[in-house]
Structure 1
Amino acid sequence: MSSCIHHFLVVFLVFVCFILDPVDAADGPAQKFLLSCGNQKGGADADGRKWEGDAKFLVKADRSREAKADMQDSSLPSEIPFMSARIFNAETSYKFAINGSNRHFLRLYFYPSSYPNVNISNSYFALNVGETTLLNNFSAALTATALSQAYIVKEYALAPSDLNDLTVTFKPSDKYSGSFAFVNGIEVIETPEMFDDNTGMVGFSGDSGVTIEATKASMETMYRLNVGGQFIPPTNDSAGLMRSWYDDTAYILGASSGVTNAANTTIDVGNGTAPLAVYSTARTMGPDPNVNKNYNLTWVFQVDANFTYLLRFHFCDYLDQKVNQRVFEIFINNQTALDTMDIIGLAGSAGSPMKKDFAILVKDNKGDNEIWVALHPNVSVKPEFYDAMLNGLEIFKLGDSKKNLAGPNPKISDMMQKQIDHNTKDFGSKKSYKSAIIGGAAGGAAAFGIAAGLIFVINNRKRKYPGQDSVSSWLPVYGHSHTASKSTMSGRSHGSTNISSDAACNCRYFSLAEIKQATKHFDESHVIGVGGFGKVYRGVVDGNMKVAIKRSNPSSEQGVNEFQTEIEMLSKLRHRHLVSLIGYCEEDNEMALVYDFMGKGTLREHLYKNNKITLTWKQRLEICIGAARGLHYLHTGAKYTIIHRDVKTTNILLDDKWVAKVSDFGLSKTGPNMNQGHVSTVVKGSFGYLDPEYFRRQQLTEKSDVYSFGVVLFEVLCARPALNPSLPKEQVSLADHALRSAKNGTLEDMIDPHLKGKISAECFKKYAETAEKCLADHGTDRPSMGDVLWNLEFALQLESNLENPKPASNKRSIDLTDHNSIMAMHRNTLSLGSEDIDGSEDSEVFSQIVNQKGR
């Protein structure tokens, strides 16, 4: 009997041990901690995720206090976790009980707004997890200001350890008197091991190969891109990891951005480490093998120097069916990472996701702290298609030998500081200035995680921040632009408009006296145009600066709304091909907008009727390309699409050097996210250019701008208005008449007589096909503005090759131009980090982009 009992107990104990075995426990739900810091009750965020209070996780809670933000920026996705904060005046830690043998994501949420009894610009602190330094002398306010973000999310992938607790320690800096640390939210998520034991270092091969043990490294997420696709919110990520995936457009070098496409076949994501949406879209080089052989599809990223970075490429070839159809080379910082990338060959089948990891050391080289990623067809293996393809890209910073991941704070340049000082000197009392800045100190007005080094600044002091002598200016993976808040500039508005403090700080305020002096008291001889908003005057400010001043007509229905929209939109945007807003005036019931003066007027003035100068075909192409670049930036340069809604030849202006700039944003709308697909709105626009699908359904998309631009393309080709009631009924609408003529093969009869016989057949065919596709009846059948831009660039190349035939070069384009010239081209094309560049050297470089010889 006792023997039976003994055997029963043994079996029972084995069963209990099996149930409680940690290996099996690890197969259960992943650990998750979501702390709303400084908030006792916690709450749910906009995605429905529940956050708890942080007090029970604190060690020595008496060294901290709870605080509530004074104002809620309109770009915050929800109150939780951003509106409450935990402020630390001494070293304090959070402690989490975890399974230390697994990797964990740590996300830290910072909203550097105004909090009671503290000055947020005095916050400098270090942050450590165990022996690993994540932040050192970190200023969330300075970072948000320099990068034009309302809030910051830092993400780290913490390596497994032997400890079963995670200690996150905040330590205020001892370099500055009165410094403190703060945090708004902490997220800890257990993850499967996502990295390999050995990842090869680029630049080392063969017997001397150097690898890193990524499984043992803690990392900071720098960039996470859905290449060729749209923004993917955390709630749509795979495996519950809550990662955000951003559009890659802002990081592409030059105008040769390739083409985007989407899968129309089933994809098995079983082997993938990214969500299905990443593998379902891609960016390729384009359909023309001769063009593809002479350029690289290139992305550029700014990073912190003297760190090793792991780059993860996500691939899924859903366009091909077998090996050796698409084979290409991968270059990282001008070094070959892989010379024969055959996705299907490495993945094993078509439509199968795969990843490829590489590591590279980035050293400080004269301040150019960058990672260049370039793809180029491998012509030596003679694939069926000379093309390259990429679906997704992640970049992680690895801790150094001292277990340090901390980089320097971004730098506020002297130019930015001068602009700050210039703006602040016009503000009223200190009280009004302070109230205005509260709403903008944390954020800016530029778009999403745009290219590195956005330079628009909102500062909450006329002095510079301490500790800003470093040079880092990369844009973190989690960057969210500040949008219009509802605060009104004290001492400015008279109750008619609500200009956000952010927008007000990014452009100059003019007094009514200054406006009257500039226009000679609105002298009629200074009128250069009239629109729905009111008259436009030429003027001079600051002694010799030529400007265009748009004065509101009090009887205009567009007045207040257009005035506010124009300021909010253009204060966020600086691009070579968008007209620059210098400032505004709102005083004594007068509203005026001040712009850069466009010496050559509107595009329409040079096309027909009393045209000042007859434009050559090449000039017209260059102008169309410039306008397309501006619209492409609007559609892709922010977290959400900006839809212009009134694209026409009178809203394309030309400066003294014939550079095209898109203008008039009074009707613009911020576009939808992926789940919506459109904006429901009252139909507005100009007849003749109006998208018929938008008119029918009252649903606005970026393809409505594409339709209007298609009308512009035909207007440029045919030199006739979009609507001409004096013509026979079937010819009144340019769009209808052009499409009918193209179908009948008589489009050449509509060409401007000044251009007859002066356009090459190949160029005309490509241009006409592009314009026709823009006018497709259904928006889904129209190309994106990026595709339109690519086709126009190609058309210009065809025209240039005919004028100046030149043997094709076998050298890669990345070797054709030195580094500095390529970066100048990048600045001119995207203009994401600086104002227009008008120097002769840069203008010459810009012409290299327009004239596509050898690219």
Structure 2
Amino acid sequence: MPGSVMAGLFFQCNPKLHRRGKTPLQARSPARSDVGGGWIRGCLCAWRDSDTASIYSDDRDDADLVHLDGVFTFNLDALLRASAYVLGQSGVGIVYKAVIDSGINVAVRRLGEGGEQKCKEFEELVRTIHHLKHPHVVRLHSYYWAPTEKLLIYDFLPNGSLDTALHGSAEGLLTWERRLRICKGASLGIAYIHDCSPRKHVHGGIKPSNILIDSNWDARIADFGLQRLLSLVGDAPRKEVQIKKVDSQRGSTVSPSPILSPGELGRELGRRISRRKSSSQSAEMVAPHLLGLYQAPETATAKKPSQKSDVYSFGVVLLEILTGRSAFAQLASGELDLVTWTKLALQEKRPFTEIFDPYLVKGNVDKCELIETLQVSLSCTAMNPDLRPKMRHVANFFMHL
């Protein structure tokens, strides 16, 4: 079905993972999105429920859902009964919204299979990620590990991503006050990641789709540690092509798929898995110039990203917030990358109406705040990493703006 993404199971149905005596989830009428866009009905396979199951058990296929704190207490049977909707799909997997019978909404990222020999490393990294506790960092609460599947369970944020707010169905609702609030929260979250540990953590994937927005329009940084987790399950970290995502809550421009029965979903999932590798390779071959849209120039030759490359990425995000232009659409249409375009526009002394988002220019916005934020974004995107500010200094700027 060209141009559409089919709703999928959280993981491929494996006879070993079905709880004995359980029947498949019965199809129910789909829920409607309160934000807009079709939510794609999913299906959960049953897991074996055991309060005493250990992640280090000899039979890893019987491993239980592991709660890292007391925020979520639902068991695997509750997850089995949940309705699931695709929120987004990209080169690093699928994200679902799961609605538990108790009324709890959670976000579930599916990592897939692989990494059978790296269970201990996976658990240690998951616990490291969980220990990052900050109001502006998305919290990882639970996980599931089995040789055939890995799942991460996070808080669900109702206002989707910054990518959606800027370029999706919510376009026009993002006032300057909200943009500043998002800039402040995102910068505080990244600064915390950088400074919370002597190990000097690096995010490595700062972009609008990884900046999520809660009900108060506060930003939270998502997917910290994701690339390292992917490396443990067999998917080597790679620069990701920006692709369209399902559901307006993560930036949808893809038409929704028809609702499928559980049996049809299982067959479709099998076809999806068999196509996954070839599809991602095809995307990279078609658009190699669209790779690493938010990556600092030095990451092309560096062995791994640095905190200063995170700063650069955030600078590109700031330019999107200021100009209203999508870094992806900018290159896809054959124009200069957003950083080069902005610097050239300033050199040519183009009017503000051509540089800043027209929605902001037409509004009652303090022009000094726009200019000062632009200056910060240009400092963050300096070609020389040593000239870029630290994230705590960027956060301090937004705290006092």
In which range does the TM-score fall when normalised by the shorter chain?
Answer: 0.5 to 0.7
Does residue 767 of the first structure (1) align with residue 373 of the second (2)?
Answer: yes
1:527 corresponds, among 81, 86, 89, to 86
| Equivalences for residues 198-347 of structure 1 within 5 A | none
Cα contact 1:566–1:664 (8 A) shared by 2: no
- 2:359 — aligned with what? 754
Change (3 A) 1:702 1:493: farther
Letter in 2 for 1:702: Q
| Equivalences for residues 60-75 of structure 1 within 5 A | none
Cα contact 2:78–2:101 (8 A) shared by 1: no
1:549 corresponds, among 108, 124, 133, to 108
Change (3 A) 1:770 1:710: same
- 2:341 — aligned with what? 737
CA distance in 2, matches of 1:516, 1:588: 19
CA distance in 2, matches of 1:599, 1:586: 27
- 1:536 — aligned with what? 95
| Equivalences for residues 705-716 of structure 1 within 5 A | 705-716=310-321
Does residue 779 of the first structure (1) align with residue 385 of the second (2)?
Answer: yes
Cα contact 1:537–1:548 (8 A) shared by 2: yes
Does residue 720 of the first structure (1) align with residue 344 of the second (2)?
Answer: no
SS at match of 2:327: coil
Letter in 2 for 1:713: L
Cα contact 1:724–1:732 (8 A) shared by 2: no
C-alpha deviations, 1:502-541, integer Å up to 9, x for none?
A: x9578868755433322x3x5xxx2122233422222233
CA distance in 1, matches of 2:125, 2:399: 30
Change (3 A) 1:689 1:710: same
Change (3 A) 1:705 1:527: same
CA distance in 1, matches of 2:76, 2:331: 43
- 1:410 — aligned with what? none
Deviation at 1:687, TM superposition (A): 1.6
Deviation at 1:495, TM superposition (A): 11
Deviation at 1:594, TM superposition (A): 1.4
Cα contact 1:683–1:694 (8 A) shared by 2: no
Deviation at 1:659, TM superposition (A): 1.4
C-alpha deviations, 1:89-132, integer Å up to 9, x for none?
A: xxxxxxxxxxxxxxxxxxxxxxxxxxxxxxxxxxxxxxxxxxxx
Letter in 1 for 2:387: D
The runs of 5 or more residues in structure 2 that have no matched partner are 1-48, 230-235, 241-290
Letter in 2 for 1:777: M
Change (3 A) 1:517 1:495: closer
Cα contact 2:239–2:292 (8 A) shared by 1: no
Q: CA RMSD in A?
A: 3.7
CA distance in 2, matches of 1:588, 1:697: 32
- 2:81 — aligned with what? 517
Cα contact 1:635–1:642 (8 A) shared by 2: yes
Change (3 A) 1:505 1:599: closer
Cα contact 1:652–1:660 (8 A) shared by 2: yes
- 1:641 — aligned with what? 200
CA distance in 2, matches of 1:634, 1:656: 22
SS at match of 1:723: helix
CA distance in 2, matches of 1:706, 1:638: 17
Cα contact 2:112–2:148 (8 A) shared by 1: no
CA distance in 2, matches of 1:794, 1:492: 54
Number of residue-to-residue matches in the alignment: 292
- 2:394 — aligned with what? 788
Cα contact 1:738–1:747 (8 A) shared by 2: no
Letter in 1 for 2:100: V
Letter in 1 for 2:158: G
CA distance in 2, matches of 1:716, 1:512: 40
Deviation at 1:574, TM superposition (A): 1.2
Deviation at 1:683, TM superposition (A): 6.7
Change (3 A) 1:637 1:506: farther
1:702 corresponds, among 260, 284, 307, to 307
Letter in 2 for 1:489: Y
- 1:458 — aligned with what? none
Cα contact 2:60–2:147 (8 A) shared by 1: no
CA distance in 2, matches of 1:779, 1:643: 14
CA distance in 1, matches of 2:145, 2:157: 23
- 1:632 — aligned with what? 191
Change (3 A) 1:647 1:580: same
C-alpha deviations, 1:716-744, integer Å up to 9, x for none?
A: 11122112266664x34112211222333
SS at match of 1:624: helix
The structure, 1 or 2, with the larger RCO (C-alpha pairs under 8 Å, 6+ apart) is 2
CA distance in 2, matches of 1:775, 1:566: 30
Letter in 1 for 2:392: G
Cα contact 1:527–1:536 (8 A) shared by 2: yes
- 2:248 — aligned with what? none
Of the two, which has the highest radius of gyration? 1
Letter in 1 for 2:81: Q
Change (3 A) 1:711 1:549: same
Change (3 A) 1:743 1:494: farther
- 1:62 — aligned with what? none
Deviation at 1:427, TM superposition (A): 4.2
The runs of 5 or more residues in structure 1 that have no matched partner are 1-424, 433-487, 671-680, 796-855
Cα contact 1:600–1:658 (8 A) shared by 2: yes
| Equivalences for residues 384-533 of structure 1 within 5 A | 427-428=51-52, 489-490=56-57, 493-494=60-61, 512-518=76-82, 520=83, 522=84, 526-533=85-92
- 1:651 — aligned with what? 210
- 2:162 — aligned with what? 603
Letter in 1 for 2:194: H
CA distance in 1, matches of 2:338, 2:120: 31
Deviation at 1:577, TM superposition (A): 0.3
Deviation at 1:492, TM superposition (A): 7.9
Change (3 A) 1:651 1:645: same
2:293 corresponds, among 682, 688, 692, to 688
Deviation at 1:668, TM superposition (A): 5.5
Letter in 1 for 2:57: S
CA distance in 2, matches of 1:699, 1:593: 24
Cα contact 1:507–1:583 (8 A) shared by 2: no
| Equivalences for residues 799-810 of structure 1 within 5 A | none
Could you say which structure has the higher helix fraction?
A: 2
Deviation at 1:561, TM superposition (A): 11
SS at match of 1:550: strand
Deviation at 1:697, TM superposition (A): 3.1
- 1:408 — aligned with what? none
CA distance in 2, matches of 1:733, 1:565: 38
SS at match of 2:167: coil
